[in-house]
Amino acid sequence: MNTPAHLIFGMTAFGRAGRPAVTGAALAGSLLPDLSLYLMAGWHLQVLGTAPDVVFGQLYFSDAWQSIFRIDNSMILWGIGLVIAIMARSAIGIALCGAALMHLGLDFAFHHDDGRAHFWPITNWIFESPVSYWDPAQYGNIVGPMEVALSLLCCALLWRRFAHWGMRGLIVALGAMEFAPFIIFAIMFSGG
């Protein structure tokens, strides 16, 4: 799924009005499984000038990058973190680990040929979902619009939950980041 959707869903499930540390932890947990990808891809694209097809067609699937993804995308490690947070009765830890696990569960379900080893260190196996959030050959033309619609519904719920202008600005920004690519791709691939 798109990262803005992960942030929206994580904040909806684990964010709490009046508890900025908990909401911040939910946002962090929603982002952390993708952070290494953004840092490595950003470095290659922006600093080294590596071509996007090399970054996403070769480096993404390389053993070096996948070894990093195994760690930050491990349901096992995040699950251990969640158990510890629950035992410690840490609302911040629960929000952080719960949002990360939600992110990973959605990635597990909606990544066809670009998934990650979610069960490391037990196994390096990568599930190849029959459904993709972006690839039309794997129902991305159905899942993508559903993701956008659910994200916008969650934004409406978040708008009601959070009255502070800063949070509402963040909600609008995340909703726009989720919705804009949908419109751009619809125009690009409409054939008109």
Give how many domains the chain has, as a whole number: 1
Mean local confidence (pLDDT), 141-169: 95
Which residues span the domain enclosing 145? Answer: 3-188
The confidence band for 140, taking pLDDT boundaries of 50, 70 and 90, is: confident
**pLDDT at residue 189, as a whole number:** 56
Amino acid (1-letter code) at residue 33: P
Has residue 163 got a pLDDT over 70? yes
Has residue 188 got a pLDDT over 60? no
CB 54 within 8 A of CB 43: no
Amino acid (1-letter code) at residue 69: F
Mean local confidence (pLDDT), 84-91: 98
DSSP 23-59: HHHHHHHHHHHHHHHHHHHHIIIIII---HHHHHHTG
DSSP state of 114: S
Angle between helices 20-42 and 3-14 (to 10 degrees): 160
The confidence band for 64, taking pLDDT boundaries of 50, 70 and 90, is: very high
Has residue 155 got a pLDDT over 70? yes
b/e per residue 25-55 (b: at least 16 CB within 10 A): bbbbbbbbbbeebeebbeebeeeeebeeeeb
Q: Is the pTM of this model over 0.85?
A: yes
